[in-house]
Structures are given as C-alpha cells and as structure tokens.
Amino acid sequence: MRVLCLDIGEKRVGVAVTDPLNITAQAVETIWTKGFERDAARVLELCGQYETDRVLCGLPRNMDGSEGFQAAQARAFAEYLAGKGLKIRFQDERLSTRQARSVLIEADVRREKRKAFIDQLAATYILQSFMDAGGWRDEEQRKIKLRGVWLMSENMNHDLDMDREDIVELVDEDGNAVRFEHLMTLEHEGNAYICLVPLDEMEDVGEDELVIMRIETDADGNDVYATVEDEAELDAVFEKYLEIAEADEGEDE
C-alpha cells in the first residue's frame, strides 16, 4: 500500500506519495490551507485516489530536537486526520525545506513561483528519507498502557535467560513478577523511558505489543518504573521509539 506524506505548514501543506512499489517518493501537489476540515477533505480525496490510508506527517522539530508551535500544529492536524480513520506516522523534517529551497534556486525557479513547489518538494524529501530508513512496516508494534508502579525484581531465577542481558523482570504493586525483553531506553523532554515487550503472559497484552514506562526515583533513591497515563506523552515517546528503531534498521542495511 502506498504512503501519502504531508509537509504541514501554517499556509501550505505539501503532498508527496510513494510509487506503487513503495521505493521512491513523488511530488503530488500543494494544498493552500483553509482550515482543518477543508484541508482534511482534500487529504482524504488524495488517499482515495492513491488507495491508501497511510499518512506520514513531517514533524518540524527545532535543531536541538525539541518541539515548538509548528510541531504542535502538525500533531493537531494529524490527530484530526486520525479521527477520520487514517493511519498516522511522523517523520523528523528538519532541513527538508532548506534542501527543497536549494534545489529550486539551483534550478533557477523564480522566487514568486517557489511557493507553489517548495512544500511538495520538501514532502518528497521527508517521504524518501522515511522509505530509505525502512518505510511503513506492515506489522507495526502497538503501545500498551499498563497501570501502577513497577520495581526491578531481586530474584531473577530464570536460568534459561541469565545469558541474555536484554531480559528484565519487573514486579508490580501486587507482587506479580513479569519478564520483559528490553528494547530501548530513551530520553524525551527531560524524562527517561524504558521500552519493553512482555515475555510472560499478561492479561489484555498480546504478543509483541510494546510497553512504555517512565523511569522515576522513589524516596529511597531507587529506580521505579511508572506507567504513562497521559495519552499525548505516550504517543510522543512511542513516535520517538519508532524513529530511533527505524534509523537503527537503516544503519544495519
């Protein structure tokens, strides 16, 4: 299935799409913004035209990786599209507009005409970078919300797993111990998070589903693992996990 990409700006939304084989990115058009409802209607028309429900949204981060007003606007529009039934992913778009502008200047495109092309060209760069890093995987991991605070177990007595450094055992507030595969520890907006996949059977948690916990410190100075209740925070950390995982895959190829 093709992937539609949006470079979301205050006045314009650049659009690109993958070819039928999901190898290359191609510019489509520039949408001149007229509000979420009308902009989303055009995106839905394009999704119907290209027979896809997959939409990649460029996320305009600051150079230090933080998110500002424009990133918040992009997330808000993406959330609106998700409410229309589209599947949404994000891709860091830092420098994509600068690259597009340089190409247009080198091509001797007049300043007054650049606005018609710069955003869709930027969307093409965003999408191509995403595809080169592995693209939209069919079996996408889902994030799971657990509740409560978990502690690291002091009795890791599973001999079969002792040789695997990526296995951890956590204990919940009721004393229930669960083994997890540790996928990644990452930082987001000053907090540290741990990304895990349960190895033992857990109620309401399926195989290969992702668990994200925030690493905190208790009164005794010990690390504890608190579940994330805020959906926006959980989504942001999940997207960062996917970005890092995809970048790592691209380096291994």
Q: Are residues 65 and 150 in the same domain?
A: no
Q: Are residues 157 and 113 in the same domain?
A: no
Burial class (CB in 10 A: 0-12, 13-18, 19+), 124: buried
Q: Are residues 241 and 159 in the same domain?
A: yes
Q: Is there a domain that residue 137 lies in?
A: no
Q: Which of 177-181, 184-188, 212-216, 248-252 has the lowest mean pLDDT?
A: 248-252
- Edge-to-edge order in the sheet of strand 25-32: 25-32, 12-18, 4-8, 54-59, 87-92
Q: Is there a domain that residue 138 lies in?
A: no
Average pLDDT rounded to a whole number, residues 70-83:
91
Residues in the chain: 253
**C-alpha distance from residue 174 to each of 130, 150, 164 (Å):** 42, 9, 26
Chain segment 15-59, per-residue pLDDT in tens: 999 998 888 989 999 999 999 999 999 999 999 999 999 999 988
Q: Are residues 101 and 152 in the same domain?
A: no
Q: Are residues 191 and 85 in the same domain?
A: no
CATH of the domain at 77: 3.30.420.140
Q: Are residues 20 and 119 in the same domain?
A: yes
Q: Is there a domain that residue 107 lies in?
A: yes
pLDDT number for residue 214: 92
User: The whole model's pTM is what?
Assistant: 0.52
pLDDT number for residue 205: 63
Within a 13 Å sphere around the CA of 44, how many CA atoms are in the beta-carbon half?
14
Strand partners, 215: 192, 225
